[in-house]
Amino acid sequence: MDYEPKYTVVLRGQEFVLTKSQIEFDSPNYFTACFLGDFREAQTKRLEISRNPELFKLIVEHLCGYDILPLDDNAVPSHVSLDTVLRNLRADALFYQLEALVEACEDIIDPSKTNRSYMVIGYTTISRIVNDAFMGKLTAYHLEEITTRMEPGKVWTTIVSEDMLSQMGPLQLAESFSGFKGLRAVAAIEGFARKAVKDYHKLGWTLMSWRAELVTSGKAELLVVLKPLDSRQM
């Protein structure tokens, strides 16, 4: 059997020995950065951290490839609730940069999060009517004109997860608009969404947010996000 490098992790005086295959599980992470990078620990193969050693026992099991979730009463101290341990485990998983473990914890902490989905409606128009948009920002008037002149064949829709939605960049929330001009903009977007997806309310969706911008002279892009009617998100 080939020799496998071993590394010592010390937490509040308690030592744990990890193998190279263990630290490479759920990587890249804090351990691969320290032991396999250019840090001093790569030479000493020893790392001292002021984190909870009891929680680290669960981390070690995870690095062995075992399923450690959901937690049971035997896995936590009697004086601490399962919910507290789970949230602290997530905090340590974030510290150690163990992405798979973070996601597993979040799935239990907020199971509805992974089930949330959103409909995104996209449309690109090339028209002189958007050329006068001030600093590239489209007004309710522009949105109304885009809706009136919309070519259905150029509209696309897709369903995205909450994680994908968070990567879409800044969006304008419908609920943040008020007053005559604000509500006119919301109504214009709702009109666009109805024209693109028919009666989206009957399909179980409601308007959440959008982004409308002039990308080049005479060319505008519109992204509209619909959320489930029963969603309390945002």
User: What mean pLDDT do residues 112-133 have?
Assistant: 73
Residue type, 83: D
**H or E element that contains 210:** strand 205-216
Confidence (pLDDT) at 130? 54
Residue 92, domain member (yes or no): yes
Residues 215 and 190 in one domain: yes
Q: What is the pLDDT of residues 68-90, one digit of tens each?
A: 998 887 776 667 788 889 999 99
* Bigger pLDDT: 186 vs 216: 186
| The last residue of a domain, from among 59, 79, 109 | 109
Q: What is the pLDDT of residue 176?
A: 82
Which residue range is the domain that position 173 belongs to? 116-228
Amino acid at the residue 143 = L
| Prediction pTM value | 0.51
Split into its structural domains, the chain has a count of 2
Q: In what order do the strands lie in the sheet with 14-19?
A: 14-19, 6-11, 46-49
Give yes or no for a cis peptide into 111 (omega within 30° of 0): no
Domain for residue 44, yes or no? yes
The average pLDDT across 92-108 equals: 90
Query: What is the sign of the dihedral through the CA atoms of 103, 105, 111 and 112?
Result: negative
Tokens of 193: 């969404």
In tens, the pLDDT along 3-38 reads 899 999 999 999 999 999 999 999 889 999 999 988
Confidence of residue 141 (pLDDT cuts 50, 70, 90): confident
- Does 1 fall in a domain? no
Binning the chain into helix, strand and coil, the percentages to the nearest 5 are: 45, 25, 30
- CB–CB of 118/208 below 8 Å? yes
State whether 151 and 176 are in the same domain.
Answer: yes
